[in-house]
Structure 1
Amino acid sequence: MVQRMVCLDRLKVFLTVLVVLHHSSIVYGGSGGWFYYEHQDDIAANALLSTFTGVNQTFFMGLFFFVSGYVTPASYDRRGAGRFLKARLYRFGVPLICYMLLIAPLLRYVSIGYEGSFGEYLRTEVLSNPLRGAIDFSIGPLWYLFALLLFFAGYIGFRKLAESRGVSKPPVALTFRVTVVYLAAVMVANFAIRLVFPVGTEVLNLQLGYFPAYIGLFMAGVAAYRGGWLQQLKETTAKKWKWANIVMIVLFPAGMAAGGALDGDVSAFMGGMSWQAVFYAIIDPLLGLGISYSLLVGFRDRRNGSATKMTHWLSANAFTAFIIHAPIVTYTAFALRDLSWHPLLKFGLVGCTSVVLSFAISSLIRESSRVFTKIPLGPRGKVRHSSN
């Protein structure tokens, strides 16, 4: 278990870096929504960055949900339902509230293109309505934490129901049939749900068009923990997936181009009764599973050694870096808006800078909070000074 967790810690750091780069790429032409955009008229940059974001979208958040599902049973077993829920509400609820009250107003200044000074914006738009972010339920990229809270509630309900009925099922074995059933279920569910909620349509900040895979992978993570799936993943299968992934990564943009994406209209792929919607509903989970399988095997076999100080530092700061990366990416790009570079070069600069800043500022926040919590307080909350 300890060794597996080392590789999963490193995988989470990798995924966090990818999230920061993903959102940085949207600024300069990648597909997706963000708070600030530049250079959206460069066809070559748009194609490359949209391929990057499109491929990322197939796996990176789903793999986050898989890892979260994997660590959930042990935490529940150790804490029990009440303490488990309390811990999760604190760990995820506090960042959500802070985002709505503090981060969302900062991002809105750039996203609405406010023409006045930042100080004027704070006086007229923020201080006059300090709860606006909470009222609008503005949680941006932290929709992931909100979704996890919903998944945790579902897991608690499942465990409680099983315990009340005295049901104890054996672990699910990882078989070819299980893989095929998962893929078929997600493909059909993708197409069906996107008829009502096309990709890009949000309900409480959640894009339901992607949730069949998210739910399936969270459940797969739970099953993987119980059934020891990580040990069962095969290197030979990972190699087959690697070549299949290469083929699909080539087919993905080719299919998008054939369906009209080069004209700037991808709505047919997002949902509806069209071959484009069928194509996306199929290749999305297929490529996502292939890349996820390859990464899990790669990190298990090659990145599962003893944790170094850098591994501990990166892993400890990945969660906070994820929480704060949105304003860092946005304001780094905004600060460099007058830099006359090619959009791909600016993406590289902003992306790398944002990664470094996200982890560095995360470390400062965590160290500051640690120092604050160690300050001895007197009976009325006043700082108690040492006689030394």
Structure 2
Amino acid sequence: MQQTPSRTLWIDYLRSFLTVLVVAHHSSLAYTTFASFDKVAYIRSTHPVVDTQRWIGLDIFENFNDVFFMSLMFLIAGLFVIRSIQRKGTGAFVRDRFYRLFLPFLIGGTLLNLVAHYPSYVLAHGHMGALAYVEDFFIVEQWPVGPPWFIWVLFVFNIIFAFIYMACRSKFESAKSTEPRSYQPAILIICAFLFTFALYVPFAFWLGPYKWTGFGPFDFQVSRAALYFGYFLLGTWLGHVNFNEGMFSPSAPLVCRWPLWIFMCGLLYTSLTVASPYLTTLVKTGTLSEFPGYLIYFTIYTLSCTFSCIAFMTTFRALAKRHHRAWDSLSEHAYLIYLLHYPFVLWTQYALLDAPFSAFGKFLITLLAAFLGSWGISIPLKKIKWIEKYI
């Protein structure tokens, strides 16, 4: 597959890898030790399908993803926004985002989620009435959005930035970087950490770290809204300063130290995992008050997020140098895989409820079924002209 001038190989491969992580993340949620199912309204469950088989290793995997991967996805989504606006014009850009993001969100958030959540309704109510299910889906469950929440939020971020660009067009054009610059890794990491800390910690204290809100399918994690928008804006800035030939060039000090960032990524997430129960015990016994306990935890959390993002970006920049046929196909179909995987996940988890396998075995089966199934459907769908044009 030939790379178009607006694409960057390692970013495409990183984006597709994160899509696989999303599929794996959802595949694990039925088997975590903290999973719970609410039969009154399954929307309040930790996951739409919950198995009796559990494994703490999947807690660790799921939590690792949760720390960083959505922030990194929003950052990547912002990288080529300015370039796209300048190439298409603001009006055409907004229209393109409507077709590429908002319409797929409506389809994914409605039709695909109706298909996906039917097993949850059967588990909660024990019968299979289609009309009763549809009524429950929209009224009791209040239109579950599932993974497409990311798409509508990204659409809003794009529209907001398009207005920002229109208001500050002259500044964007005059500030365009012509000479790629390199940066000291220590300064970059400190700035990235402080940036992440400022966008996450105040809101986590104020709203709670897990609070969601919204209306119908327009649901989002309100406590992370500033973090995600900030990372999206960070992506637009990186794209504007020619990141690929500057701070993320193959010879840049930040990229050359990618093994160190991988080590730090693992070390900090391990520290976060170990610190959580320890800090909880200190707070419960009165040895440590609640505020400093949370402050320590949130500090380690933001460090873990920062180093995880840097580790994955620099590793893919350093190692993704040549095209690979399978990975090219995965990159080409990653967006459709993201849209289509959730029904495969929930129906496979439902089918495996009584299967005599371990939690890890069920996780692997679900991951393979969801990943290969959604990829397999994406290939012929992508060949349909009106789908190929926008997705």
TM-score, L = length of structure 1: 0.81
Report the CA distance shift for 1:355/1:372 in structure 2 as closer, same or farther (over 3 A).
closer
Residues matched between the structures, number: 355
Matched, 1:225 2:228: no
The runs of at least 4 consecutive aligned structure 1 residues that moved more than 6 Å come to 164-167, 371-374
Show the counterpart of 2:337.
Answer: 321
Correspondence 1:58 to 2:67: yes
**Judging changes above 3 Å, is the alpha-carbon distance between structure 1 residues 372 and 303 closer, same or farther for their aligned structure 2 residues?**
closer
Indicate whether 1:201 and 2:211 are aligned. Answer: yes
Q: What RMSD, in angstroms, separates the aligned Cα atoms of the two structures?
A: 3.1
Deviation at 1:178, TM superposition (A): 5.1
The CA distance in 1 between the partners of 2:90 and 2:34, in whole Å, is 40
Quick one: structure 1 residues 241 and 75, their matched pair in 2 at CA, closer, same or farther if it must change by over 3 Å? same
2:278 aligned with 1:258 = yes
Among candidates 118, 139, 142, match of residue 136 of structure 1: 142
- Percent of pairs identical after alignment? 21
- In the TM superposition, 1:76-87 aligns within 5 A as 76-87=85-96
Deviation at 1:170, TM superposition (A): 5.0
In structure 1, the residue matched to 2:40 is none
Aligned partners of 1:183 and 1:286 also within 8 Å? yes
Query: In the aligned structure 1, how far is the partner of 2:199 from the partner of 2:33?
Result: 26
Report the Cα distance in structure 2 between the residues aligned to 1:90 and 1:51, rounded to whole angstroms. Answer: 37
Q: Which amino acid aligns with 2:174?
A: S
Deviations 1:170-199, CA, capped at 9 Å, x for gaps = 549655545423422431332211233222
Secondary structure of 1:259 counterpart: helix
Match of 1:188 in 2: 198
Q: Where does structure 1 lack aligned partners over 5 or more consecutive residues?
A: 266-271, 375-388
Uncovered stretches (5+) of structure 2, i.e. residues with no partner = 36-45, 249-253
Change (3 A) 1:298 1:373: closer
Counterpart AA for 2:242 = G
Instruction: Sort the Cα spacing of 1:236 and 1:167 in 2 relative to 1 into closer, same or farther, 3 A.
Output: closer
Calculate the TM-score normalised by the size of structure 2: 0.81
Partner of 2:49: 36
Change (3 A) 1:276 1:24: farther
**Cα distance change of structure 1 residues 95 and 372 upon mapping to structure 2, 3 Å threshold:** closer
The 8 Å contact of residues 109 and 148 in structure 2, kept in 1 or not, is answered as: no
What pairs with 1:159-308 in structure 2 (closer than 5 Å)?
Answer: 159-163=165-169, 168-171=174-177, 174=183, 176-177=186-187, 179-204=189-214, 205-231=219-245, 232-233=247-248, 234-260=254-280, 273-305=290-322, 307-308=323-324
Letter of the 1:237 partner, please give it: R
Contact 2:165/2:172 (CA < 8 Å) preserved in 1?
no
Q: Do 1:66 and 1:221's aligned partners in 2 also have CA atoms closer than 8 Å?
A: yes
Cα distance change of structure 1 residues 247 and 281 upon mapping to structure 2, 3 Å threshold: same
> Hey, what's the Cα distance between the residues in 2 that align with 1:115 and 1:364?
36
Q: Secondary structure at the match of 2:354?
A: coil
Distance 2:296 2:267 in 1: 15
